[in-house]
Amino acid sequence: MENHQSVNGTTGTVSWSLSDGRLTVRGEGPLESNYSFKRFLGHVHTVIIEQGVTDIGSYVFSGCKSLTSVTLPKGLARIGDSAFYGCIQLAPVTLPESLTHIGEYAFYKCAALTSLTIPGTVTTIRACAFSDCTGLKSLIVPKGVTGIEIWAFSDCTGLTSVSLPEGLTCIGEKAFSGCTGLTSITIPGTVTTIGDEAFSGCTGLTSVSLSEGLTRIGDSTFYKCTALTFITVPGTVTTIGNCAFFNCTGLNSIVIPDSVTFIGYQAFAGCARLKSLTIPRNVTAIGYQTFAGCTRLNSLTIPRSVTAIGKGAFTKCDSLRDVTVRWATPPAIDDRVFRDTPCDTLHVPPHTKAIYEADSEWGKFKTIDPSCG
């Protein structure tokens, strides 16, 4: 059809008319997925949905690359999965306060979307709902939202500001991964779990505030957050997952509380600026390459609670010259634990020097000092 031509039709209990690129939908009830105007979507640049329409079905406007503006009515309750998927020119969107559900991939790849206000009536932001909205600059998640699902805002590279509400309990896997413009984030105290890779690849992130209440930092949560310089882990956290801070090359200080009992493999590997570290007294194992490549780490205390140290745990720690341990009998370790590490001085408990000297690996330290209390 030519842009100046008019067409109309019905789908379910609603009717629609299209004229000069302007699509108007009116009636009572849902705009269902089996809509009859699909073949005309290439000519639509403006959508007006009138009051009375309660739902926008899945895929209704998916791939409508010419769409620049949509008006949503009061009373709209649901936006279905992929409803506006790939509407790359869609810019202003006002979500009505009546909205309770935003489906998976609902606004995926809406690259022209620059700002977003999510109504407080929405309780969960579904998987990939706003993923790859590269023009999105700021985000306020309202009180009432309790969950942010996987990939919800992943690869929103223009996003610089995010506000998360008290009441939020879970941040899903990769929820903000690849948000390279994000510089700071405050996690509210109601959040108990941060999913795997939730902020991975957020290379502009310099400040992270974690609150008491958090119990687990997932695998690769802050993977390659290269601008992050300092973080305090709350006293409620028990688990730091595998690769949690892998290659955070700017990280120079971290406070880990005694509540932590598990630190995963490669959790701090490649943190080249990390100078000092206290391993919590309740940790029982140090995993594979947990601190490998921490080239500025110069001193370390391993608590008595540790009974196993994985391969390469402290390999290539170029500045690590001073290690303190508190075992009467040291645990057996692999010859790769301290590979390519200076191993100058080992502080051990009194009367244990001979035991350490006789050990094939611990005995490689140049000086064994039996002055550790």
pLDDT in tens, 78-119: 999 999 999 999 998 999 999 999 999 999 999 999 988 899
Rounded to whole angstroms, how far apart are CA atoms 128 and 219?
19
Angle (nearest 5°) at CA 218 between 214 and 223: 120
SS3 content of the chain, % helix, strand, coil (to 5): 5, 25, 70
**Can you give the pLDDT at residue 344?**
95
Rounded to whole angstroms, how far apart are CA atoms 64 and 113?
14
pLDDT in tens, 146-197: 999 999 999 999 999 999 999 999 999 999 999 999 999 999 999 998 999 9
Rounded to whole angstroms, how far apart are CA atoms 288 and 302?
15
pLDDT in tens, 243-301: 999 999 999 989 899 999 999 999 999 999 998 888 999 999 999 999 999 999 999 99
Give every CB contact of residue 135 below 8 A, 6+ residues apart in sequence.
91, 111, 112, 113, 114, 158
pLDDT in tens, 212-224: 999 999 999 999 9
Token duo for residue 290: 């947990």
**Can you give the pLDDT at residue 35?**
65
**Can you give the pLDDT at residue 123?**
96
Query: If you write DSSP's letter for every residue of 310-358 in order, what string do you get?
Result: -TTTTTT-TT--EEEE--SSPPP--TTTTTTS---EEE--TT-HHHHHH
List the beta bridge partners of residue 23: 18, 47
Rounded to whole angstroms, how far apart are CA atoms 261 and 309?
14
Q: How many Cα atoms sit within 13 Å of 198 on the Cβ side?
A: 21
According to DSSP, the β-strands at 239-240 and 22-27 are unpaired
**Helix ranges (DSSP H) in 182-268:** none
pLDDT in tens, 329-343: 999 999 999 999 998
Q: Reduce the DSSP state of residue 187 to 3 states and report it.
A: coil
Mean pLDDT, residues 368-372: 92
Rounded to whole angstroms, how far apart are CA atoms 78 and 157?
27
List the beta bridge partners of residue 217: 194, 240
* Torsion, Cα of 38, 39, 41, 43 (10° steps): -160
Band of pLDDT at residue 314, cut at 50, 70 and 90: very high
Token duo for residue 264: 């995963």
**Can you give the pLDDT at residue 32?**
86
For the chain, which domains are there?
Answer: 1-100 (3.80.10.10), 114-248 (3.80.10.10), 261-373 (3.80.10.10)
Specify the DSSP element, H or E, that contains 280: none
pLDDT in tens, 56-80: 999 999 999 999 999 999 999 999 9
Give every CB contact of residue 103 below 8 A, 6+ residues apart in sequence.
58, 78, 79, 80, 81, 82, 83, 126, 129
**Helix ranges (DSSP H) in the chain:** 353-358
Rounded to whole angstroms, how far apart are CA atoms 191 and 91?
31
**Which of 262, 210, 206, 249 is CA-nearest to residue 232?**
210
Give the mean pLDDT of the chain: 94
